[in-house]
Structure 1
Amino acid sequence: MTSRPQPKRTRKLPGERRSEIVEAAAGLALGEGLEMITLRRVADELAVRPGLISHYFPVADHLVSEAFTYATTKERESLLPPQERDRAPVDRLAHFLVELADGDHLDLSRLWLNARHLSRFKEPLRQAVRAAETVTRTALVALIDEGVRAGDFTTGDALKAALHILIAVDGLGAYVNDDSAPQGPDIRDVAIETAETRLGLAPGTLRAHARPEPRPAGPAAAR
């Protein structure tokens, strides 16, 4: 009886392996919480030895902070897509806020809430949270400034307007784990209405601009 030859394992490049570890940790963070990120648990997810994880991340707290950064960077890129900078500022802001209100972002809202709590005790995570907040705030201020120049928005202080909007977004996220919190369009639209008030937009403007353009009828629609 001859033994079946075992398939050769392909050794991954260090950068590829590191990215794989961070992505697996981010998946754990989104699904179960940042507390579940341990070197052994990530090793189990990837079916490798824990020693491989510790080779790249000797300190688990550093993996926790990188997993948070990875997940929130993906979130920001989906809400403020870099490839859509040619769209009107009002359209991009509408996408950002309406997606947060209506889209499938509950796991990410839980992650932010989780990270802000744990960052009290974990310095690398505290730095990661601050960095992510700064990048998002800077991007939103730039978007508002662009909208003012284009005539989409009216405000004398883009930073103040951005802070009001983001505080409203964070306030909505604070209810993510509370099933008894008030539901319905009133609470979901707090950040949208805040933006419209701070930026001189008529009520309903952002939801109107977030609606997808109708597809043409006929054979062309299938392309």
Structure 2
Amino acid sequence: MSTEQPDGQDPRTSRMTAAERSAEITAAARALALEDGLTALTQRGVAERAGVAPSLVAHYQPSMEALIAETFRSIAHDEIVEVFGHVALQRDPVIALRVLIVTLLDGGRDDVDLVWTDAFSMARRFPALGEEARRQTQIWHDRFTAMLHRVAVDAPLSEEAADRIASQFLGMLDGLNAHAAIGHIAGRVNVDLIARALEPELGLPAGSLSG
């Protein structure tokens, strides 16, 4: 006797527990966001990626706004863990900052950059996403501020100066990545632009952050 389900679904997947099914849908949303951006996260889009009916996505994720915000949070969190994992391997604070800049701007993280760009553009329509984007941005700001205090060589940075430079860096980073998303300047050019802006602020010789 055939075990095929009426909808043609693999019988093995039909026996998933509620937790497994929810995790499957969450994973599908994450993979889809990294491939096509947050704008691709619709019930139908996630359902197609997970290989289930849209009604099943609606059952396990009744709020697409919440799913979009959580997908962004997951991707942004993992980015911070990964990036600062590389940075932590460097004992020299200047080299650590150089690694951070190159990692974020060498064009190798286009999938995550697109997710961030979408988050900024969608935040007005999705308040939960906007709140999460602000929270993740603040985490980046705090991490970068701590790095700046270790790098400055002329004199200790004041909290006000570190805060200002961190805001400048994040603004340039997000702007340059948004430009790169439409094909306007990317890779090493952006690394040099950021490096040249930060070096005089931190009393570093030219080329210290881009060499």
Q: TM-score range by the shorter chain?
A: 0.7 to 0.9
The count of corresponding residues between Structure 1 and Structure 2 is 203
Which of the numbers 129, 145, 153 marks the counterpart of 2:149? 145
Equivalent residue, structure 1, for 2:198: 195
- Provide closer, same or farther for how the CA distance between residues 197 and 22 of structure 1 changes in structure 2, counting only shifts above 3 A: farther
Greater Cα offset, 92-101 or 21-30: 21-30
SS class of match (1:141): helix
Equivalent residue, structure 2, for 1:57: 61
| CA-based RMSD | 2.9
SS class of match (2:181): coil
- The answer to whether the 8 A contact 1:102-1:188 is kept is yes
Equivalent residue, structure 1, for 2:7: none
Equivalent residue, structure 2, for 1:155: 157
SS class of match (2:179): coil
- Provide closer, same or farther for how the CA distance between residues 152 and 74 of structure 1 changes in structure 2, counting only shifts above 3 A: farther
- The answer to whether the 8 A contact 1:145-1:158 is kept is yes
- The answer to whether the 8 A contact 1:113-1:174 is kept is yes
- The answer to whether the 8 A contact 1:140-1:162 is kept is yes
1:131 paired with 2:139, answer no
**Alignment TM-score, normalising by the size of structure 1:** 0.76
Q: Which 5+ residue runs of structure 2 have no aligned equivalent?
A: 5-9
Paired amino acid for 1:178: I
**Alignment TM-score, normalising by the size of structure 2:** 0.80
Equivalent residue, structure 2, for 1:221: none
Which of the numbers 91, 113, 116 marks the counterpart of 1:112? 116
Deviation readout 1:97-150 (Å, 9 max, x if unpaired):
0112214122222222221111111111111111111111111112222445xx
- The answer to whether the 8 A contact 1:141-1:162 is kept is yes
Which of the numbers 201, 205, 210 marks the counterpart of 1:207? 210
Q: CA deviation at 1:153?
A: 7.8
Q: CA deviation at 1:19?
A: 4.0
- Provide closer, same or farther for how the CA distance between residues 124 and 153 of structure 1 changes in structure 2, counting only shifts above 3 A: farther
Greater Cα offset, 47-56 or 124-133: 47-56
- Provide closer, same or farther for how the CA distance between residues 103 and 152 of structure 1 changes in structure 2, counting only shifts above 3 A: farther
- The answer to whether the 8 A contact 2:87-2:96 is kept is no
1:24-43 correspondence runs (5 A): 24-43=28-47
- Provide closer, same or farther for how the CA distance between residues 72 and 119 of structure 1 changes in structure 2, counting only shifts above 3 A: same
